[in-house]
Structure formats: structure tokens, C-alpha cells
Chain A
Amino acid sequence: MEITGMTAATMSNTEVPVSSLDERIKFFQNEPQSALATQEYFVNMGPQHPSTHGVLRLVLKMDGETVREIIPVLGYVHRGMEKKAEYIGYRQQVHLTDRLDYLCALMNNWVMADAVERAMKIELNDRILTLRTIFAELQRIQSHQLWWGVFGMDLGAFTPFLYGFRDREKITAIFEDTMGARLTMNYIQPGGLMYDIHPEFPRKVKDFLKYFKPILNEYDELFTGNVIVHQRLKGIGILDGKTAISVGASGPVLRASGVSYDLRKSDPYGVYSKTQFEVPVGTTGDCWDRYIVRMQEMRESIRIVEQLIDNIPEGPTMVMKFGAKIRIPEGIYYNQMETARGILGVMLVADGTEKPYRLHFRTPNFNNLWSVISMAKGLRLADLVAILSSVDIVVPDIDR
């Protein structure tokens, strides 16, 4: 046993504070000969780590168990997506966006399709816009269900994972009926939708909503009210609104910090302007607020789908059928939308040919990652896991 440090401190006749444990630890850490004296060292978190949600690598400068500095090292799933986009046509770009942030594939499809439609000045009918909005909101619920399950698993509870995936499969089945795919749908095309919806679609969505509303309360009973969860999340990883804006954070991360900015409200697209919903906003910007904001967002998404599902307008699901080659007039175009994780922007530089000259994605996770750095400084390593999970990072979206 290492007790020499203790004796050295007492022998030097300096007063050992007895008021609190924290003060005593701080006292012994400053004593050079103490057993609790610490040394700074570096730890690699990742690229293979179960809590980094993929292959994110964080180089951590540690002092004992306290995180002093975080250096993200990126590129472990860099697939050269933006370069590849310069060699394929505008219709084919949609399938690349599926693989950006695969948990909100439909919303990504929509951003890309909408960018092309705006450049070509195509007017869509109400049926397409309503269906796109319904699908986007269902996908938001699905994405948050997965986040809830994984969040529980990262905090050390395995049960939420099973519950979250049990309900996620129900939405996946609804998507599969219409689109034939479970994860990478490639469904929303420039000019409309790839197929019409399944005849059973409205009934199945209504059944799901009826099933899922009480389930959300069950989630609360299981996880939200837990004392351990409160202690792991409250006051951990505080991000103030100013820092959130300066690093370009968006989505629930920004809104949990008290900034009420949602593109669905401030710059409405689809049929969001016709629906009633609220934007949940946090107060302090800690992990707890991000948790509550996402749980509320699921409830708001249910509200939006409930308003739209009963009166889907009639009409064609493809207003303009494109061939393989779409020619966009020369110029620079930018389009952005609110996905489940924040603002996804697409910048198109068109040179008049059937391929873009340059295509740039402004992905939400890339900016949200930099907010982690200011959040986790001075906290414990276990808190960093909770913070990473509350920010809900998808690594292929960062690296592209």
C-alpha cells in the first residue's frame, strides 16, 4: 500500500483540510510527493471503441481521470463522397446522401432532391410535399428511438437498447412496405417520389402512433425518472448558447442550450407551415436538457404526423419524370433542412453539364462534434461518454 504520500504531507506540518473530500483530494494532488499527485498523459479513445458510435478517434489529454483536452482525429471513414459526386449525375446524388447520416436517410434524400428542384424551378404538388413531411417526421421518431436505446447502453443500462429497437422495427416495417428498403431508402427523388405509397400505409401509421404514445410514457418510467440517470446527466456537459452558435452547432444540441432555432419554424419547407407544433427548448444546455429536448421532439413529431395522416391530398407522386441526365443552369445553389441531428446543407456548383462541378455537404454532426470539446473539459472520462452520446454523433456524417 502506498501511504508514504500521506505521511509526507502530515510530516511537513501543513494543515490537511477536513471540510470536504474534494478539498482533501485537491490538497494531496498538489503535494509533489503525495500518492495522489497526478501526471498528465495521453489516451487514445478509438478508432475502435464501442462508445464512439463508429470509428471516431479522440486523443485525450488526461490528468488522473479528468479530461484536460480533447483532440478529435478524423478520417477513419472518409470515403471521398464529395469527390465522387463530381463524377455522377444529379439523379444519382440522392443515393450518396443515404450513406451520409444513415439514421435520417429520407431527410437527406429530401435535401438533395429539393436542391435540384429549386435549381430547376420545379413546383411540386401537395401530395408529394405532405408525404415527404410525414416520412421525414416518422424518420425523426425512428432516429430518436435508436438514440434513446444507445444512450441507455452508453450509460450502462442494456434494457433501453432492447426497448428502443423493438419500437424502431415497427417504423422500419412501415418504410419497408412502401420503399422496399429498411435503412438506405433512396426514395425521395428530384421531381417527386420513387413510388406511390403502400395502400395500407395510412392505417399502419395510425396503428403505430396509437401504439407508440403510451410507450413514450413507458420510456419515461423506465429511464427518465431513474436516480442514476439524473445524477449522470444533470449539470454534466454544459454548453451555453453563445458557444453553441460560435461552433455552428444545430439541432437538439443548439436548442437544448436555449437557442430556439429550428428551420421547420424559421424557414418552413414542405407543409410544416400548415401544421401546429412546438419547438422544445432547454435552459442550461447540459446532457439532461438534450435528453429532454429529444424526448419532447418525438412527441411533437407524433403531433405533426397525426395532423397530416388523415388528409393526404390526391395527385400524382411524380410531377416531372427525369431521364438519366438532368442539366442544371450554371450557378451556385445552396439548400438546407432540419434533420434529426441538425441542419444539413447542400451546396451545388453547377457548370451547365449533367454533373455538378462541386458538391459540398454541410453536415450537422461535424459542427456538433466541436461543441463536445468545450463541454467535456474538466470532467471525468465517464462523463465524456455520456456527452458524446447525448450529442448523438454519427461518424460517417462527419467524415463523409
Chain B
Amino acid sequence: MGLINSQNAPMIEAFPGGPAFLTTIDTVINWARSNSLWPLTFGTSCCAIEVMMAAGAANHDLARFGAEVARASPRQADLLVLAGTIVKRMGPTLQTLYAQMAEPKYVIATGACAISGGPFIYQSYSTVRGAHELIPVDVIVPGCPPRPEAFFYGLLTLQKMIREGESIRRPGERRKPVLAALPPGITIDQIRQELILNLEEKSVTKPLNEHAKMENLTWKI
């Protein structure tokens, strides 16, 4: 489909019947893209067992959704499944991996750690509070770790997003489905402020006098 791209799309649209033609082309391209997602073999911790391995193995069979061709090189992959905790040291590597992946590329963040820091959101000096701080995330799958079925639901959501949200007229632009709404009267800024206050309160520094009384301890076992 290299003949029709974002440069000549406005030109085609000007012709009579052009918009309908472009929409048909969109449908074909999006159908092909959504059913041939190639994931990158990238797992940092526990979620990789459930999401990448158990989902890809015989019982759950990721091949039913056309996403079983796991690639070890980011240049051959277009789906990045963030399975596990992202720590600060891993951050630059993750950004490099994302940059090396072929366009158009999609990211699914699975598990509590990749979404928000999870169990390590407070009182940890090394965890990144959610992978969206480093790279754009399309779909999140909650759980610690999520079941393979939950991951399939996330994958189907991504496929739906690709089929409905993308157009050759606006490359790179994605329409994201609304998954949850905030309660009335609460804004996202209020939540962020509260989170910042919590993070400051639960930092990992102890008062010095706490260490002094520990000098005379003895082994009990």
C-alpha cells in the first residue's frame, strides 16, 4: 500500500469518490495490521511468565489472535508488551527499544508495576511510577500478574483500537477508547496532587536517631 500515503491522501480526497476510496483502503490496512501484531520478547519480571509464556504456550494459545510470532529483535516487532517492573536503570534501555521498533508500533502495559509502580509505588527509590512516564502506552491490562485471558482482552482492545481509530489521513494519531470515568467532582489534577503528597510522605529516609539503639542486638537463632 505504498502508493497511497499521508502525502497524497489530501489529493485523492479532492476527487469525487475519493473519501470513500480512502476509507476502504483504511479498512484493509487496519484489518491487516490488527491481525498480525508481532510482539517483542521483552519481559522484566513476574508478568512475563503469565503474559508472554503461559499465554503463548499450548493451553492458551496466543496464535488464535495472530500475535504468536515473538521476535527477539525490536526491528522486527511492532508490539511491545511491558511485562513487569520498570526501574530507573532500565528506563534508557526501554526508550531505545521503543525507538528501534518498526512503525506503526503499539504498547500494552500489563500488571500493576508497569501501570503505576504497583506494590513498589511507595517507599521505593528505584521504581518508575508507570511506564507511561517513559514511552506512550496504548492499552493497560491490570492485575498482579494478569491472567492470560485478561491479556487477551487487552490484545482484543488494541486490535479494536487499530481497526477503528487509525486512518491514513492522520498517521500516528490514535483514538483511544474510554475505559473508565472519574467520579463526579474529582479531576485528574486532584488525584495527581494527592499522589505527590503521598510520595513525599512515604519516602525512604529514616531519622538518624533510629539507628543508634540497634547497636547492642544479639543473634537469637
Contacts and interface: CB of A to CB of B under 8 A. Distances in A.
A95 B118 CA distance: 12
A87 B202 contact: yes
A184 B48 CA distance: 13
Interface stretch (A12-20, A26-34, A328-336, A374-382): A328-336
Q: Pick the 3 closest A-B CB pairs, nearest first.
A: A165-B57, A331-B220, A102-B46
B87 A77 contact: yes
Interface residues on B, range: 35 or more
Contacts of B45: 54, 77, 99, 102, 395-396
Interface stretch (A78-86, A287-295, A302-310): A78-86
Given A47-B93, A77-B87, A80-B127, A331 B72 contact: no
A99 B46 contact: yes
B87 A165 contact: no
Given A182-B145, A184-B145, 15 more contacts: A50-B41, A55-B93, A76-B44, A76-B89, A76-B90, A76-B93, A77-B45, A77-B85, A80-B204, A99-B46, A102-B46, A161-B57, A183-B50, A332-B217, A332-B220
Contacts of A193: none
B142 to A, nearest CB: 14
B127 A169 contact: no
Interface of B: 41-46, 48-50, 53-54, 57-59, 72, 74, 84-85, 87, 89-90, 93, 97, 119-120, 122-127, 144-145, 147, 202, 204, 206, 213-214, 217-221
A86 to B, nearest CB: 8
Interface of A: 47-50, 54-55, 75-81, 83-84, 86-88, 95-96, 98-99, 102-103, 118-119, 146, 149-150, 161-166, 168-169, 172, 182-184, 329-335, 349, 351, 357, 395-396
A162 B43 CA distance: 19
B144 A184 contact: yes
A396 B87 CA distance: 11
Contact of A332 (B46, B120, B218): B218
Given A332-B219, A396-B46, A166 B59 contact: yes
